[in-house]
Amino acid sequence: MLSSQLLAFFASPAEFIQRATPQQWTLFLQQARQQGLTARFYYVLQTKQLLDQVPQQVKLHGESGARYAQKQQHSLYSELQQLEPLFAGAGYPCLLLKGAAYRAQALAVSFGRLFSDIDILVPANQLRHVRDRLFFYGFREAEMTDYDRDYYLNWSHQNPPLQHYQRGTVIDLHHHIYPTASARSIDITPLFSHAVSIPGSAFKVPATAHLFIHAAVHLFYQEETHKLTKDVIDLNDLLLEVQHQQQLDFMLEQAALMSVQSAVSNACRVLSTLFANGAAQVALQSPALPRPQPLVCNLLLTMLQGSVASAWFARQLWFVRGHSLKMRWQVLVYHSLAKPANSLQRWFRRLLPGHKS
């Protein structure tokens, strides 16, 4: 509902620009800015040769966004180049994930797509080694409590974000694409074994099929919803890319192997409904894929298309669902108790005589 103009545009740009009223364009520009999709809509129009058919004002805002995205593209390449020597000698695979992986290969999904950090995946047993080397290269972790640090390392799938002291670049170093605390154990060895090399670079990228699977897992197994519109638009482009690279069958096979079929099936249902995505419709016909879960799909669609009230309600349910999926109940209970206990402890410690700060 809140991003309805965006969804309508990305579902069918040519149709949208034919019938959009000035009032809708005003909303559209506003929503695009909020979701960081200004440069993205510009490149869609450019690719489809529709730029001359939109109002000049819309085009100018698009151009402005595109200039910012181009700068990000350069910043990313420049940063990766600085990191090359660090990863060059590594005897294990280092994979770029998400935005960095799309951008490095110049996939259509990356045209004008903004990102805030660089996601890198390394084998779990190398995480500390890589992190220590990044320290040596000027990256550091933000100040955090012992509890939060523990949470990141032991229960989440990544090291706490690492930021370069001078350049400000943030690296999210992952050892898994899904929290290890989860009861669902997703086997990610195929990500490494099918990874594609980047000529001239020490980095690799996952196969496009895996990039889609990762994005689908991220969307359906997490509780975050603030960039939902952007996430489904990404997913739509990624699935079309999978089809374009003739990896649709491979993707379905991998989804089964990694036991993430329900996420993939649900994603296909949502993409088919929102964008009439052809690849999603093909995938849904496949006997290899279980039927989508109606409740989950409807919850997601309600958050995107429902009225203000129903979208709000759906978000609350989604949040609870995301958390319970992420952690086994024992873990959830442990954290629900440990977190308050931990802050209480710190509070008491501050009251003790002789304590500084």
Partner 1 sequence: MDVALSYAAWLSQQTTDNSTLQATFNDASSVLFSTFDHETHLSGAEAEITEPDVD
Partner 2 sequence: MTDFAIHTAPFSVLVTNHSNKLTTALAELYPATLITRPNPQLIYDFCLQVQRKWAGWGRPFHVSSGDQHFRMTDSAQLVPVFEWGVNWCVASYQHQFLAIHAAVLERDGKALIMPAPPGSGKSTLCAVLMQEGWRLLSDEMCLVDLTSGAIVPYVRPVSLKNQSLMLLQSWYPQAQIRQITSGTTKGTVGYMLPSTQSWAGMQQTATAAWVIFPQYNAAQQQLTLSKLSQADAFMHLANNSFNYAVLAEQGFNSLSRLTQQIDAYRLEYACIEQALSGLNKLC
Chain residues that interact with partner 2, rule: CB under 8 A: 21-23, 25-26, 29-31, 33-34, 38, 55, 57-58, 60-61, 63-65, 67-68, 70-71, 74, 226
Choose the contact partner of 225 out of partner 2, partner 1, none; CB within 5 to 8 A by kind: none
Closest CA to 104 of 170, 197, 12: 197
Q: Which of these ranges, 106-114, 240-248, 269-277, 292-300, lies near partner 1 under the rule CB under 8 A? A: 106-114
Query: Counting contacts by CB under 8 A, is residue 87 touching partner 1?
Result: no
Closest CA to 121 of 169, 177, 82: 177
Smallest gap from Cβ 299 to partner 1, in A, equals: 32
> Do 80 and 167 contact (CB within 8 A), yes or no?
no
Torsion of CA 223, 227, 233, 238, to 10 degrees: -60
Query: Counting contacts by CB under 8 A, is residue 116 touching partner 1?
Result: yes
Query: Counting contacts by CB under 8 A, is residue 64 touching partner 1?
Result: no
By CB atoms closer than 10 A (0-12, 13-18, 19+), residue 108 is: middle
Q: Which two tokens stand for residue 255?
A: 């989804």
Please identify, using beta-carbon distances, which residue of 81 and 343 lies nearer to partner 2.
81
**Interacting residue with partner 1 among 198, 282, 301, 325 (CB under 8 A):** 198
Three-state DSSP class for residue 306: coil
| 227-263 burial code (b ≥16 CB/10 A, e <16) | ebbbbbbbbbbbbbbbbeeebbebbbebbeebebbbb
Please identify, using beta-carbon distances, which residue of 58 and 94 lies nearer to partner 2.
58
Query: Counting contacts by CB under 8 A, is residue 34 touching partner 1?
Result: no
Q: Which of these ranges, 131-139, 193-201, 291-299, 305-313, lies near partner 1 under the rule CB under 8 A? A: 193-201
Q: Which two tokens stand for residue 170?
A: 């943030």
Upper half-sphere CA count for residue 208 (Cβ side, 13 Å): 25
Query: Counting contacts by CB under 8 A, is residue 185 touching partner 1?
Result: no
**Interacting residue with partner 1 among 37, 94, 97, 103 (CB under 8 A):** 103
Smallest gap from Cβ 68 to partner 2, in A, equals: 6
**Interacting residue with partner 1 among 75, 245, 305, 342 (CB under 8 A):** 75
